[in-house]
Structure 1
Amino acid sequence: MQHKHAPRPLPLFLSLVGDVARDDPALARRALAGLARYGEAKRDPLPPGHSAVASVRGASLRDLGGNGSTVVLIPSLINPPLVLNLPGASLAEALVGQHRVLLVDWGFAGPRAEIDLGGHVEQLLMPLLMALGEPVALAGYCLGGTMALAASNLAPVTRVATLAAPWDFDQYPREGRTALGALWQQSEPTARALGVLPTEVLQAAFWSLDPRGIVAKYARLADEPEGSVALARFVTLEDWANDGEPLPLPAARELIEALFIDNQPGNGKWRVGGAIIRPDTVPALHFTAKADHIVPAASAPPGERHAVSAGHVGMIVGSRARESLHRPLLNFLA
């Protein structure tokens, strides 16, 4: 029997549908029909994993191939690294023609359960980069871009590209930061007991930023013909979004309290390894997504920016990523 998939957490999704479509029963029916399409859709097997060239406490550097100067791709801690090497829309594949491409795989949360956000840079990312024995370029997505800038203060890095990465957290809507703080207060006792912030809590935080958009995308799915490229892409990306590791408690606390609430990076007060982290220690280019509901474009690090007409995930995997992201990124890395 085929395994059925559902958004995680499903009760919250159903609550969103009820709230958003309270006065629009047709929208509610289509969103639930889209949910059924997602759950019953056929899944293609994931591509085989790539070999690791270095490993530290469960985190590793995966060798994606290529020749030339080395570029290390750094994903967020919150979702799996697959989005940077997605079949049919691979950022890594676009870079392989001109560079040796390595991908950070943070691994399972257990081996890093006692490490805060800065510790992931200092104790995991730094040793992985130092194991290469050469200066490298970094390209970090979402929180991975924030961490890439921290690493550029501590490791031999030639340049950094950030992709929809937050830095000035004061640029997030005030109500969103307030809601996140309240969610953290409610969730912290459970997270403390578990030692991790469950993925369901993180998903709830993301959904709260754009509840109408979440319901609308499932409603659109109801109209997709069977076997369409759009349906397959939706399933792959939604599985990716629902398949992240929980966030180690110290990392969750630093992310929410030090970054989102206190805005230590934007205020020039974020310390990693005893050093104040600056965003301008090496040449950098910051890609922003104009329709980003997860990381507002205005929150990007200071410096040169390149705006992409897409959303937070679409900038990475969208049909226009080759022209809007891959080409200017290759020019910058060259």
Structure 2
Amino acid sequence: MFLELLRSETATSPERRTAALAGLRAYQEADRPAPRAPKPVVAQAGRAVLRDYGARGRPVVFVPSIINPPLVLDLARGNSLLRWLARQGLRPLLVDWGTPTPEHRGEDATAHVEQLLLPLLRSLDRAPALVGYCLGGTLALGAAAALPVAGVATIAAPWHFAGYGDSLDPISALWDEAHATCEALGVVPMEVLQAGFWQLDPKRTVAKFERFARLEPGSEAARAFVALEDWANGGAPLPFATGRELFDEFFVADRPGAGRWRIEGHAVDPAALACPSLSFVSTTDRIVPAASAPRLAETRNLSTGHVGMVVGGRARAQLWQPLADWLTALPATR
């Protein structure tokens, strides 16, 4: 799939194609550090678990996207939002969705909230704050409509899917092609999802490998690229029902933005949440356009991209510190 996109984007520039292929080869051959041991599990619901990043402080449950692994929030030594927040006196808890198999084919996005996320939250002895990244923010808003929480913050989360506009056309076409195969498999492979992301910004997909080809192997910049690219290319498949609901009911029909999504019988309306709420929105995001963001009590607009706002060079000043300040200032809960 990548090579097909590469041929299309560099059809008039063999020099760019050569450079991108050199970058791709360098990425494939780059050294990787040994993986870090996962944090301890403090709760489990089905295939999902809750991992504890701090033993004290206000519990803050981080809900990652159901696409790509959750570790973008704990990307690398020295670049981990979760470990940094723990040092600020908070208690980050990370939802790990586990690995779906064809046996989970009937679990849709709604089931991720009702059968996995809400039981994890109910296992805690104190109402937590929720922080959701990307589609994890969408799911966190669903959970906050059904369960009392101390507050909810979203980071680059889509809600008004109509805000994608015409950029959804290639994704819809891709789903039309892949639908029957995914239904037969019972899962939506990561390759299908990755191809959809590439279609949102194909020029950048090629250009990043051109840039990587020019980096000094083993340099700090090269190691950061490899860590981020490994995360972006990794991840478990989605249950087929999740893919169907996301593509057909969310992206196309905009059920959340139209006020037609319910969790445990509760209508999910971000503007009517009974707790403090904050939305971090990237004004330059190609994956989650600013027009799709939820309308919460507070909004912070950032000028970094979808992933850069969490792990980029300005992330600590633009996102980490403001988020820590907001979480610390939330009213005490029992």
Give the TM-score category using the shorter length: over 0.9
SS across alignment from 1:172? helix
CA distance in 2, matches of 1:223, 1:301: 39
Alignment of 1:159-308 (within 5 A): 159-174=151-166, 176-280=167-271, 281=273, 282-303=275-296, 304-308=298-302
Aligned amino acid, residue 202 of structure 2? P
Partner of 1:100: 91
Alignment of 1:113 onto 2:113: no
Q: Deviations over 1:168-207 (max 9, x none)?
A: 1111032x22222222121111011100111111011000
Amino acid at match of 1:93: R
Q: Do structure 1's residue 327 and structure 2's residue 326 form an aligned pair?
A: no
Letter in 2 for 1:206: F
Aligned-partner Cα distance in 2 for 1:65–1:114: 34
**Corresponding position of 2:39:** 50
DSSP-derived class of the 2:22 partner: helix
**Paired amino acid for 1:330:** A
Q: Find the counterpart in structure 2 of residue 126 from structure 1.
A: 118
Distance 1:118 1:273 in 2: 9
Deviations 1:9-47 (A, max 9, x none): xxx111111111111111111100100110100011111
**Range that drifts further, 109-118 or 121-130:** 109-118
AA aligned opposite 1:258: E
Structure 2 residue 144 is the aligned partner of structure 1 residue 152: yes
Q: In 2, distance between residues paired with 1:112 and 1:150?
A: 21
TM-score (norm 2): 0.94
Q: Specify the code of the residue in structure 2 equivalent to 1:290.
A: T
Match of 1:135 in 2: 127
1:207 is matched by which residue type in structure 2? W
Looking at structure 2, the residues matched to 125 and 194 of structure 1 have their Cα atoms a distance apart, in angstroms, of: 25
Given that 1:66 and 1:98 are in contact with CA atoms closer than 8 Å, whether structure 2 keeps it comes out as no
Moved over 3 A (4+): none
Q: Does 1:70 align with 2:62?
A: no
Question: Which digits, 9 at most, give the CA deviation of each residue in 1:212-260, with x for residues without a partner?
Answer: 0000000000000122111111111111111111110111111111110
Instruction: Please provide the CA RMSD for this pair.
Output: 1.1
Structure 2 gaps of 5+ residues are: 329-334
Fraction of identical pairs, as percent: 48
In structure 2, how many angstroms separate the alpha carbons of the residues matched to 1:75 and 1:32? Answer: 31
1:134/1:156 contact within 8 Å kept: no
Correspondence for 1:89: 79
CA distance 1:51–1:113, change in 2 (3 Å): farther
Q: Counterpart in 2 of 1:80? A: 69
Listed as ranges, the gaps of 5+ residues in structure 1 are: 1-11
